[in-house]
Amino acid sequence: SAHRVCQTPVSRSHHKTPNVNVGGVVRSRRGVRVGCLATREEIDTESLIASYLDEQQLKQVKLFALALLEKNKHMNLTGASTVEEVLTRHVADSLALIPAIEAALGVVVTKKNTGVSQSKHTTESDSQDKDTKHNNSDKQDKDTDNNNRDKQDDDTEHTENNPGHKTKLDPETEKVITVLDVGSGAGFPGIALAIARPFWRVTLLDSLQKRVDFLSQASALCGASNIDTLWSRAEDAGKVGSAHREQYDVVTARAVAELRTLSELCVPLVKVGGVFCAAKNSRGSIALEVEAASSAIEVLGGAPFQIVEVQSTGPDGEKRTAVVSRKVGNTPVKYPRRAGTPNKKPL
């Protein structure tokens, strides 16, 4: 069928209460959800992936997918059974988050990005002219002064935790954008974000050491040198005294927990001015979840959630969403609570 199959039973009440269509979800005037109005929307995942990944980056993603499928024979990491399924199920879904993240950060970039970003006032031809002048200048510097060349290399690359791993600076912000992927599991969205955005420094956090070991090995195999891994529970990584508390520009999570729990796991790790981005299903299906988490995000230091539709479709045939909050204040020292509590007793 071309129409969404509504998972919420339609009310069989005999009362003739008028219904109201709110964002594709039919609600009665009594506030009861009684049905759905939506049509299935198809996303061209191949074109989406091609818009973010050049040939070399696509090769890296496929190498990771092959490693994932091989490991999946011994560990339960994904329901995908082919490289193509990994691309359509996981990679495209992850890349679709990029516009929402960059909009929240205030960064304007081209889709295919190998470290060169464009400001709102820079045209493509201007960018090419600058690249040409920069290359000529580099050649001249190399011929006349090797020390200047070395200094220039130091200015355009940044070394993070892993020795020998260099991450390009974003030319627009002149810094490395740090990203933490909480509950990374099979590596998504973190792996796809790191490959598509080589000037992002992405840390993949997971509580299971076997998964972390796999992610570390597979990242190296596919040549994604801007990736770190962290074996930890999010509650421990975000607690007061941790080197990771309030240290990341962006914290993401996909298919980890409901939003009240997820906020407490993720927001303490976001630096003030940074962004928390949760990958979720359609706007209608998460409306009540977002509403229930509104007080939690405020308590933790985040601005009210914004629901942004992304170019990916969920199991209901509707566009998935990125639920985004900008961090506007420090997280109180009592959060996150001890490991397990956010899940058992959500805020």
Q: What is the pLDDT of residues 192-241, one digit of tens each?
A: 999 999 999 999 999 999 999 999 999 999 999 999 999 999 999 999 99
Give the dihedral sign, CA 94/95/100/106: positive
Average pLDDT, the chain: 79
Which two structure tokens, joined as six digits, stand for 157?
């690359």
Amino acid found at 133: K
**For residue 20, is pLDDT > 80?**
no
pLDDT of residue 241: 96
| Burial (0-12, 13-18, 19+ Cβ within 10 Å), 335 | buried
3-state secondary structure of 149: helix
> Read out DSSP for 198-264?
TTEEEEEEES-HHHHHHHHHHHHHTT-TTEEEEES-HHHHTSTT-TTTT-EEEEEEESSS-HHHHHH
Pairing of the two strands 33-36 and 25-28: antiparallel
Contacts of 261 (CB under 8 A, 6+ apart): 342, 343, 346
Beta-bridge mates of residue 275: 250, 326
DSSP state of 33: E
Q: What is the pLDDT of residues 299-316, one digit of tens each?
A: 999 999 999 999 999 888
* pTM reported for the whole predicted model: 0.73
Place of tokens 């991450």: 167
Q: Kindly list the distances between the CA atom of residue 144 and the CA atoms of 89, 112, 131, 137, 289, in Å, as whole numbers in the listed order.
A: 51, 34, 20, 11, 62
Beta-bridge mates of residue 19: 28
